Amino acid sequence: MKRDYPHLCAPLTVGRLTLRNRMLSAPMGATDITAEGTPGPRTQGFYELRAKGGAAVVTVSELVVHPETDGSQMLRLSLKTPGQLGAFTYLADAIKRHGAVASIELSHSGQYAGTYMVDKEKKGDLCQWGPSDGVRPDGMPVRALSHEQIASIVAAYGEAAALAKRAGFQMVMVHAGHGWLINQFLSPYFNKREDEYGGPLENRIRFAREVLASVRSAVGPGFPIELRISGAELFEGGYDVAEGARIAHALEDLVDLMHVSAGSYQFGFSVTHPSMFRDHGCNVHLAAEIKRHVSIPVVAIGGLSDPAQMEEIIASGQADAVAMARGLLADPELPSKVMANRGDDVVKCLRCYVCMAERAVTQTRRCAVNPLIGREFEGMDIARSPRSRKVLVVGGGIAGMVAAATAARRGHDVVLCEREGELGGILRTEAALPFKRDMYELGRTYAHLLDRLGVDVRLNTEVDAAFAERIAPDAVIVAVGSAPIPMPLPVEEGARVLSIDDLYL
């Protein structure tokens, strides 16, 4: 089979594993986590959806390795909690049974302990530990870790890795980016120690090397270890990409895959998780630079969801693979679509932060363009109806198009009517705005999907009762959109008043 995206679809060997393609599911936090840090059934459904969609690796996030110094509402894995190992085993099984590699991220938040707590006031009850004494910008004091604590944390990374392997995970990722603890030791901004863990780079990387050596000793040779780093911290006082490359070079002998992200939690959230106001792939240049200095495969990440762009990243040698988080929320089937030469069917992420905002409020996941996210446990498939019916959809905006596509997938005979000459509804107004272009493209994607699904689309067609009677549908879905809110502003008689939609169009 001739591939439209041959580089994205090519296998990749990592350690003793062969990945089925070059598209990886980046770490995304779990949802229904118990007080003991155990993943619940909705978490299993959440990660399984990415595996079923064709991702080569699905990485579970974040497994706190040392709760004594990192109290957070995240995953923890210990033999002390009855049944907990089994829950992680079922999670790894759910990923592997679809042909993906099951990986898990080993993490320590350091001075950002409690980041994911819904009740932010309770963070004040935690002790924030880091490389050095200090005070965070939000006023919370930070205490320097002792040598005994550092040794305990290093050992904990190995213990967590060994348990993850025992549970059936085939790879582990060590999180050393985004301002978390290992990154705090690497960073000249956070690390002000004057002992063997601070000062020059060879000292600042010591903690990272000890952690990675502990993990390697625990999992044995050939078991893949992935390292996630920030290629540059991208704020004043942090390390730049030149030093990021030196860090990568100094650690590559202990890992099998280098996952290059960017930024730091406190100083660059929109850099680490690029918003719609940044270019797609804005952090790829960091991966490209680091790839020049290491001999192991490098993974690029950062606002990626366009198959053509990702193909070019690999084809041009900027990275060996790509990873997506939000892109696989918007369309979990993206890898499978790419492998099947259906790149035009990919529903791209809007980078709108709905997924981020919802988790901070309710600890669930939601997506503006994929209503399945957060509800995977209720069922991941659109089942065909036992009886085909005739369905009339009135309105060709995004709601009408999604309804028509879903009805067609269920095997119904669908007619969609739109009174304008183009599908897309209000999304058509976003075509000329660079940072909202993805919204316009969402309408184009669904218009393409309707054509492929055989929906009878009728443009420039208004629907009234007589028209509906002629169609004689079994069901009518009315998706005629919203009405603008009138604003009682004083205007001169005869003044020309334009709606914002008309202006954009």
pLDDT per residue as tens digits for the range 347-377:
999 999 999 988 878 888 899 999 899 899 8
Kindly tell me if the per-residue pLDDT of 342 is higher than 80.
yes
Do the domain assignments include residue 503?
no
Residues 259 and 352 occupy one common structural domain? yes
Do the domain assignments include residue 498?
no
Counted residue by residue, the chain has a size of 505
Q: At 221, which CATH number?
A: 3.20.20.70
| Distance from C-alpha of 106 to C-alpha of 215, rounded to nearest angstrom | 10
Beta bridge partners of 323: 24, 301
Q: What percent of the chain stands above pLDDT 90?
A: 79
| Distance from C-alpha of 274 to C-alpha of 282, rounded to nearest angstrom | 8
Residues 363 and 399 occupy one common structural domain? no
Q: Render pLDDT for 443-497 as a digit per residue (tens, 0 to 9).
A: 999 999 999 999 999 999 999 999 999 999 999 999 998 888 877 888 898 998 8
CA atoms within 13 Å, Cβ hemisphere of 27: 28
Q: At 410, which CATH number?
A: 3.40.50.720
Residues 363 and 289 occupy one common structural domain? yes
> Which DSSP string corresponds to 209-251?
HHHHHHHHHHH-TTS-EEEEEES---STTS--HHHHHHHHHHH
Do the domain assignments include residue 491?
no
Residues 416 and 442 occupy one common structural domain? yes
| Distance from C-alpha of 84 to C-alpha of 256, rounded to nearest angstrom | 28
Q: Hey, which bits of 97-249 come out as E strands? A: 101-107, 128-130, 134-135, 141-144, 171-176, 225-230
**Beta-sheet pairing, 134-135 with 141-144:** antiparallel
Residues 402 and 334 occupy one common structural domain? no
| End residue of a domain, out of 344, 378, 412 | 378
Residues 322 and 450 occupy one common structural domain? no
For 488, phi and psi rounded to 5 degrees?
-75, 65
Residues 363 and 339 occupy one common structural domain? yes
Long-range contacts of 445-450 (CB under 8 A, 24+ apart): 445/344, 445/345, 445/346, 445/347, 445/348, 446/347, 446/398, 446/401, 446/402, 446/405, 447/401, 447/423, 448/344, 448/345, 449/345, 449/401, 449/405, 450/401, 450/404, 450/405, 450/408, 450/416, 450/423
Of the candidates 116, 111, 155, which has an alpha carbon nearest to the alpha carbon of residue 27?
A: 116
Residues 189 and 327 occupy one common structural domain? yes
Q: Please report the pLDDT score of residue 378 as a whole number.
A: 84
Do the domain assignments include residue 128?
yes
Do the domain assignments include residue 384?
no
Do the domain assignments include residue 265?
yes
Q: Render pLDDT for 121-165 as a digit per residue (tens, 0 to 9).
A: 665 566 789 999 999 877 889 999 999 999 999 999 999 999 999
Letter for the amino acid at 304?
Answer: L
Residues 363 and 453 occupy one common structural domain? no
Of the candidates 68, 72, 63, which has an alpha carbon nearest to the alpha carbon of residue 113?
A: 72
Mean pLDDT lowest among 202-206, 329-333, 490-494: 490-494
Q: Domain residues for 16?
A: 6-378
Q: Render pLDDT for 228-275 as a digit per residue (tens, 0 to 9).
A: 999 999 999 999 999 999 999 999 999 999 999 999 987 888 889 999
**Beta-sheet pairing, 17-19 with 12-14:** antiparallel
Kindly tell me if the per-residue pLDDT of 30 is higher than 90.
no
Q: Count up the domains in the chain and report the number.
A: 2
Q: How far is CA 62 from the centre of its chain?
A: 13
Q: How far is CA 318 from the centre of its chain?
A: 20
Mean pLDDT of the 191-211 span:
98
Enter the pTM of the model: 0.94
User: Is the sign of the CA dihedral 356, 362, 364, 370 positive or negative?
Assistant: negative
| End residue of a domain, out of 351, 378, 405 | 378
